[in-house]
Structures are given as C-alpha cells and as structure tokens.
Amino acid sequence: MDDETPKTAMEFKRECRKYFYYLADIKNLMLDIRRVDHTMQGVHSLDFEKVKSSTKKNFRQSGIVKYIDINDELKRQLKEKEDKLLYIIDTIDRIEQPAFRPIIWMLYVQGFRIAEVADLYGMSKDYLSQLINEQIHNLFPSEKSSSEETN
C-alpha cells in the first residue's frame, strides 16, 4: 500500500470510511479462494508432452494454469485489502492520546455523528471536533507544516 497510502488527514478519513467494505471484500475473496482451491483439487497433473506441442495460448487456457492465475490474483487482492485494514488500525494506534483512539474509531470507521459522540463524552461538538482534528493532523506532520506556511 506504499503508493496508495493516504498522505493527508482527509485521505485517511476517507479510507477509514471504507473499513467495513474492505472487511466484506476480504470475506468474499476468501470464499473465492476457497472455491478455486476446491476446483483445483479436481484438476490432475499436466501431460508435459502435450504442453510442449501446444501453443502458449492453449497452455495458458489449460485448467491448472488458469486456476493458478486466478488464485494468484485473488490472493494479491486479498493482501491489498488486508494491508488497507492494517494501515487503518496502525494509524489509529499511533494517535498520541489513547483516549482519542476509540473516539476516532467511532467517528471515522463506524460513522457516528460528532454530536452523538460529543454527547457520550459530555462535550460540545465544536470542542470535540477541535481536539479530534488536532490528534488526526498530528499524524500527518507534512500536511500540518504546509498549512502553517500558508498562514
């Protein structure tokens, strides 16, 4: 996820909103991988004499190779989605003040409204919003320094 890693607080917040979609995708990918693995169990060894004499296109279309390609692609997609989940969790774990971690989880991953969370903690929504934004922007120092330069 190196190239796609969110570089700003807004990108991070957007990524958090996709958390449960990533979980659903992971579940579906795991089911697809299980189906392909089950199908591959029914495919027997290749006849290498026929493989040598056939064209590369026909070889690519042969059962086992097709399933291996599908399986590899599904596993690549699975790893990508798992990396995104880990990035979200690791980023939230990097928040300096541990008390804000569940608040940020509720707001950006679970999708609670700021007013609901503020009521839970007995705070005004403006004050809580200010505190949360400080915590999030501390995670993205390059963004913070560029906004300070414009001020």
Both 24 and 49 in a single domain? yes
Both 109 and 50 in a single domain? no
Both 85 and 111 in a single domain? no
Give the residue carrying structure tokens 């042969």.
62
**Which residues, including other chains, have CB under 8 Å from residue 39's CB and lie 6 or more apart?**
67
Q: How far apart are CA 67 and CA 41, in angstroms?
A: 10
Q: How far apart are CA 36 and CA 140, in angstroms?
A: 41
Q: Say if 150 falls within a structural domain.
A: no
Higher per-residue confidence, 41 vs 55: 41
- Residue 55 pLDDT > 70, yes or no? no
122: containing domain: 97-145
Alpha carbon 81 to its chain centroid, in Å, reads 4
User: pLDDT of 2-43, one tens digit each?
Assistant: 556 777 889 999 999 999 999 999 999 999 999 888 887 765
Q: How far apart are CA 14 and CA 111, in angstroms?
A: 11
Both 74 and 102 in a single domain? no
Q: How far apart are CA 37 and CA 78, in angstroms?
A: 15
pLDDT grade for 149, boundaries at 50, 70 and 90 = very low
Q: How many residues does the chain have?
A: 151
Q: Say if 75 falls within a structural domain.
A: yes
Q: What is the mean pLDDT of residues 138-147?
A: 66
Q: What are phi and psi of 3, to 5 degrees?
A: -70, -30
Q: Say if 88 falls within a structural domain.
A: yes
Both 43 and 112 in a single domain? no
Q: How far apart are CA 119 and CA 128, in angstroms?
A: 10
Asked whether the beta carbons of 91 and 35 are under 8 A apart, the reply is no
Angle (CA) 38 56 52, round 5°: 90
Q: Say if 63 falls within a structural domain.
A: yes
Q: How many domains does the chain have?
A: 2
pLDDT of residue 99: 93
- Residue 49 pLDDT > 80, yes or no? no
Radius of gyration of the chain from Cα atoms? 23
Query: What pTM, to 2 d.p., does this model score?
Result: 0.75
Both 139 and 78 in a single domain? no
pLDDT grade for 151, boundaries at 50, 70 and 90 = very low
Q: Say if 2 falls within a structural domain.
A: no
